[in-house]
Amino acid sequence: MMLIRDLVVQGVQMFLVLALAPLLTGVIRKLKAHLLRRHGPPLLQPYRDLLRLLRKDVVLAENASWLFRVIPYVIFAVTWVAAALVPTFGNGLLFSWSADLIAIIALLGSARFALALAGMDVGTAFGGIGSSREVMIASLAEPAILITVFSVAMIAGSTQLSTVAEFMGSSAVGLRVSLGLALFALVIVALAENARIPVDNPATHLELTMVHEAMVLEYSGRHLALIDLSAELKLLLYISLIACMFMPWGVAKQGADLAALAIGTVAYVLKLALCASLLAVFETSIAKMRVFRIPEFLGAALMLALLATLLRFVSGSL
């Protein structure tokens, strides 16, 4: 009976993240448009875009290999699995015991690897530029997020996300400067990984500065729909990650009843709305960086994460 209940909770989690991801993107777009005093597309536009793309035919380049056709499915599957592992409304998900934070980062890393391969597969100039830039960003962002994870894991005593979330929600966590630094580092990495504004502009096409869009330029039809959906899912994943580590309020405990789960869901939606509005305000108030300044930006994240680990080391050894 418990197993069935856990399975149901896990299934609800998987489909909740899938259903909310396009809405989150729609909300951010709408908020950004409002901040610029424009009307903006309707909130449900991302869903309509996905449906429209699914109905359209796929146009494949003549020299596209099988990799090019397989990779959208791989990326979507991997991102979805990673998103299913992050506690959103409830702790102690059934799948989350099989993989920890480092596994989530590895899953996202393999999705990025696949996408970079797909960008280079057809052999256009744009794809190559996009892939090389994406890999450059990744080579700086990945150490930063790993060290952030280490410092959080040193504080919580585990890399298991459910345990971390539970620890952060308890009063044992106290007041720690390391966690503040880790939060900043994680936010910077999340901005870079999701191609948000200081690093990449998600709303642009055919510009010399684009990174993510350059890689997926050759995709169309259902392939593009899958890639767009996994990008939206990845944004949701990062926000959920930040929410479950740094805003663990209202998350239902393992084996909680229906009311607690409902409270957890409401709290989760509120957290998403908060993060989306913060992101929209941040993106409208800042300009995009030159590509050559990105290493400095991500270097700051790496430095903050290292400092967090060092500070934690001091307070831990006393």
Partner 1 sequence: MHGLEFDIAHMLAGSLVLASFMMLYQDRLYALLNIYALHATVLALSVAWQAFVQHAPHLYVTAAIALIFKAIIIPVSLHRIMVRLGIHREIETAVGVGLTMIAGIGLVALSMVVMLRVTPGADALAREDLAFALSVVLLGLLIMVTRRNAVSQVVGFMSLENGLVLAAAGAKGMPLVVEISVAFSVLIAFIVIGIFLFRIRERFDSVDIRALDRFRGERR
Binding site for partner 1 (CB under 8 A): 174-178, 180-181, 295-296, 299-300, 303, 306-307, 310-311, 313-315, 317-318
Q: Considering beta carbons, is residue 174 or 259 the nearer one to partner 1? A: 174
Residues 186 and 296: their CA atoms lie apart, in Å, by 15
Rounded to 10 degrees, what is the CA torsion of 172, 306, 238, 167?
-10
Minimum distance of partner 1 from residue 83's CB (angstroms): 32
Do the Cβ atoms of 138 and 115 come closer than 8 Å? Answer: no
Closest CB 310 distance from partner 1, rounded Å? 6
Of residues 164 and 311, the one with the C-beta less far from partner 1: 311
DSSP string covering 2-26, please?
A: HHHHHHHHHHHHHHHHHHHHHHHHH
Q: Could you tell me where the DSSP H helices lie in 122-169?
A: 125-156, 161-169
- Shortest distance (Å) from residue 155 CB to partner 1: 12
Tokens, residue 24: 């989150």
CB of 103 to partner 1, least distance (A): 27
Give the span between the Cα atoms of 86 and 83, in whole angstroms: 6
Residue number, 105 or 181, with CB nearest to partner 1: 181
Q: Minimum Å distance from CB 308 to partner 1? A: 9
Count CB-CB contacts under 10 A for residue 288.
Answer: 17
Question: Which is closer to partner 1, CB of 91 or CB of 148?
Answer: 148
Q: Which is nearer to partner 1, 16 or 306 (CB)?
A: 306
Residue 181 structure tokens: 């630094």
